[in-house]
């Protein structure tokens, strides 16, 4: 079997790849998070409750796919995927708090501040963020992995920027400030590029750390487009879920004050826009053929959440 | 003038050294924090409001003093002191929030959530933490400073551990859980070693990153002792401030439910304990003579806050 046909054979089994990588990140997170019987027990319990509740782990999958494309060592990919998922988990815990989105449920379970209390949720988010940087700054990551310490510094700097006030936290601030306001599509896009796009882009770029300049540039464009597509699909799903469950979900009227791709573009144009972003993402990684197959499949996976 | 007499001459001017280093860290923070006219403006305004409000900057001073002892390049010391002060500022913003200590005032000004709102304060703390890791992961820190990238990784890992659930955030969780409970002196000490000790120790160790193994070991012992002494002095000050302002400060009765060195040891033994910790700290750095003068002066400075 040639290398290329091996890749094709593997590529045909995307669902199995997703399952194995989801299991892998779950195990990595379980090992990285302090055990619930280590003091302070309640804080550690609550951190595990919040970070191990699953979800699709799209960010970790993107990181692993980019790592496979760029031959990044799996030890590095594990640490990067873990760090990104810890940052994502922290953001969900804080976003759910009463002073933010005030969500009582997260994936069908009580959100952290409901299961524990507000003070614990605050500390859980804080400590998950620290743990992300701890996981990515492990000195062992440069042991026989081909990673240079200077590259690891770049990864940490990239993650910090994606997480902070000019990344995810900044996007959340703009989102809060935009409630009840009308935004242009450009303003909405720039908000989402920070709020969800920055971390998705970091996930892909961290996975691609071993890549050539051409590969890094390509995955950067891929990530920027797929990050926005992810958000457009989210907005479409919100409307479709609304339609399907009309009158059941309280509080959605208040949400209607938030500008979305659907409120700005309408449903049909929003779908077209998502499709265009998807095509841009696919085009960016086209030069890398079979080695980019997982990233292509993930792009389709992200789109198929809605249609 | 010999090198030693130069040091002695400098050492005689401790207040000037403190002022110059306080001005230096203030300027470094002002340059590191995004300007208030960079989007999202309110978030950046609020970050600057919270991190530039001053205070004694004890952690930065400890970092600079350790750096001088170990000939750590000033560029590294600036970044380390800045990162530690950003972590400290984030912790104050979150600790002041209604779900935690619910403090409306911080250094005579409205605390962040009073000046802005709870959601902004949450994001300010989150983003200050990210900025600390961004500041310490700047690739330029290895340019002509004598710092190896692998040492920078160690610094980041050290800061992450000191900040997270087995460091500062963990100590805060134990502190919250201990309200209304009686602790032994050992339990109280272990809580403070995390809550304030871990970051103080990180400040000294980061400053000492260029030191020999013997220097690192000595400053570690120095920091562990001075960190606890700092807390004992804090507890003594709390009582003395209570006495002086009796009947003026509302809400202090509730605080009385928190175990302190004074409630466990009584005032006289608490003073003796602080003195013993101070002596341990001084003894640890004795072998380094004049080069440890600033650390000695800072130990005295910390003690003289109360007597």
Identify the structural domains of chain A with CATH numbers, from first to last.
Answer: 15-303 (1.10.600.10)
- Residue A105's DSSP bridge partners are A110
CA distance A284 to A204: 13
φ, ψ (nearest 5 deg) of residue A36: -65, -15
**Cβ neighbours of B126 in A, within 8 Å:** 90, 94, 125-126, 129, 164, 169
What are the distances in angstroms from CA A277 to CA A145, A188, A197, A217?
34, 15, 13, 17
- Of the given ranges (A170-184, B200-214, B250-264), which has the lowest mean pLDDT? B250-264
- Residue A115 pLDDT > 60, yes or no? yes
Asked if A139's CB is within 8 angstroms of B153's CB, the reply is yes
Cα of A135 vs its chain's centroid, Å: 17
CA distance B274 to B296: 15
Residue in B with minimal Cα distance to A178: B40
What is the per-residue pLDDT for B239? 82
Mutation target among A99, A120, A140, A194 for the B interface, most CBs of B within 10 A: A99
How many Cβ atoms from other residues are within 10 Å of residue B265's Cβ? 18
What is the average pLDDT across B250-264?
A: 67
The alpha carbon of residue B241 is apart from the nearest alpha carbon of chain A, in Å, by 27
Give residue A59's pLDDT band: very low, low, confident or very high (50, 70, 90).
Answer: very high
What is the average pLDDT across A58-83?
A: 98
Q: Please, is B22 exposed, middle or buried when counting C-beta atoms within 10 Å of its C-beta (0-12, 13-18, 19+)?
A: middle
- Residue B247 pLDDT > 80, yes or no? no
Q: Please, is A183 exposed, middle or buried when counting C-beta atoms within 10 Å of its C-beta (0-12, 13-18, 19+)?
A: middle
CA distance B276 to B273: 5
- Residue B21 pLDDT > 90, yes or no? yes
Which residue blocks in chain B are alpha helix, DSSP H? 3-11, 14-32, 41-51, 58-69, 74-95, 112-115, 118-136, 149-163, 168-177, 185-192, 198-207, 213-244, 252-255, 261-265, 267-285, 293-303
Asked if B196 contacts B66 with a C-beta cutoff of 8 angstroms, the reply is no
Residue A170 sits at the vertex; the CA angle it makes with A168 and A172, to the nearest 5 degrees, is: 70
Residue in B with minimal Cα distance to A44: B165
Give residue B53's pLDDT band: very low, low, confident or very high (50, 70, 90).
Answer: confident
Give residue A243's pLDDT band: very low, low, confident or very high (50, 70, 90).
Answer: low
- Residue B137 pLDDT > 70, yes or no? yes
- Residue A246 pLDDT > 50, yes or no? no
The alpha carbon of residue A269 is apart from the nearest alpha carbon of chain B, in Å, by 28
Mutation target among B145, B149, B173 for the A interface, most CBs of A within 10 A: B173
Share the mean pLDDT of chain A.
90
Q: Convert A187-218 to b/e letters by CB count within 10 Å (16 or more is b).
A: ebbbbbbbbbbbbbbbbbbbbbbbbeeebbeb
CA distance B88 to B128: 9
Asked if A148's CB is within 8 angstroms of B157's CB, the reply is no
Share the mean pLDDT of chain B.
90
Asked if B138's CB is within 8 angstroms of A165's CB, the reply is no
- Residue B251 pLDDT > 80, yes or no? no
What is the average pLDDT across B4-11?
A: 49
Give residue B258's pLDDT band: very low, low, confident or very high (50, 70, 90).
Answer: confident
Give residue A218's pLDDT band: very low, low, confident or very high (50, 70, 90).
Answer: very high
What is the average pLDDT across B261-283?
A: 95
What is the per-residue pLDDT for B255? 60
What is the average pLDDT across B148-158?
A: 98
CA distance A262 to A270: 6
Mutation target among A173, A179, A206 for the B interface, most CBs of B within 10 A: A173
Instruction: Give, for A110, the enclosing helix (H) or strand (E).
Output: strand A109-110
CA atoms within 13 A on the CB side of A53: 20
φ, ψ (nearest 5 deg) of residue B208: -90, 15
The alpha carbon of residue A201 is apart from the nearest alpha carbon of chain B, in Å, by 17
**Cβ neighbours of A47 in B, within 8 Å:** 165
Residue in B with minimal Cα distance to A99: B119
């Amino acid at each position: 079997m040639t290398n290329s046909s091996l890749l094709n054979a593997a590529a045909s089994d995307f669902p199995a790849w997703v399952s194995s990588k989801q299991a892998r990140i779950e195990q990595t997170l379980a090992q990285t998070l302090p055990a619930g019987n280590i003091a302070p027990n309640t804080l550690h319990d609550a951190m595990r409750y919040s970070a191990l509740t699953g979800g699709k782990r799209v960010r970790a999958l993107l990181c692993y796919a980019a790592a496979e494309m760029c031959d990044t060592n799996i030890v590095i990919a594990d640490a990067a995927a873990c760090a990104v998922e810890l940052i994502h988990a922290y953001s969900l815990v804080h976003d759910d708090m009463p002073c933010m989105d005030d969500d009582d449920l997260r994936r069908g379970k009580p959100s952290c501040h409901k299961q524990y209390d507000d003070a614990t949720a605050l500390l859980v988010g804080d400590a998950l963020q620290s743990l992300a940087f701890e996981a990515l700054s492990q000195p062992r990551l440069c042991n026989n992995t081909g990673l240079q310490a200077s590259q690891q510094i770049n990864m940490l700097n990239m993650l910090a920027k994606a997480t902070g006030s000019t990344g995810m936290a900044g996007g959340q601030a703009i989102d809060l400030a935009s409630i009840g306001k009308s935004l242009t599509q450009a303003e909405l896009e720039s908000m989402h590029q920070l709020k969800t796009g920055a971390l998705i882009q970091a996930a892909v770029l961290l996975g691609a750390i071993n890549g050539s300049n051409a590969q890094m540039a390509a995955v950067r464009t891929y990530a920027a487009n797929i990050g926005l597509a992810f958000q457009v699909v989210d907005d479409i799903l919100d409307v479709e879920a609304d339609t399907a469950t009309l009158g059941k979900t309280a509080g959605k009227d208040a949400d209607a004050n938030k500008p979305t791709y659907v409120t700005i573009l309408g449903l049909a144009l929003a779908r077209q826009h998502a499709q265009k972003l998807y095509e841009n993402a696919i085009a960016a990684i086209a030069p890398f053929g079979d080695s980019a197959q997982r990233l292509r499949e993930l792009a389709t996976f992200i789109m198929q959440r809605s249609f």
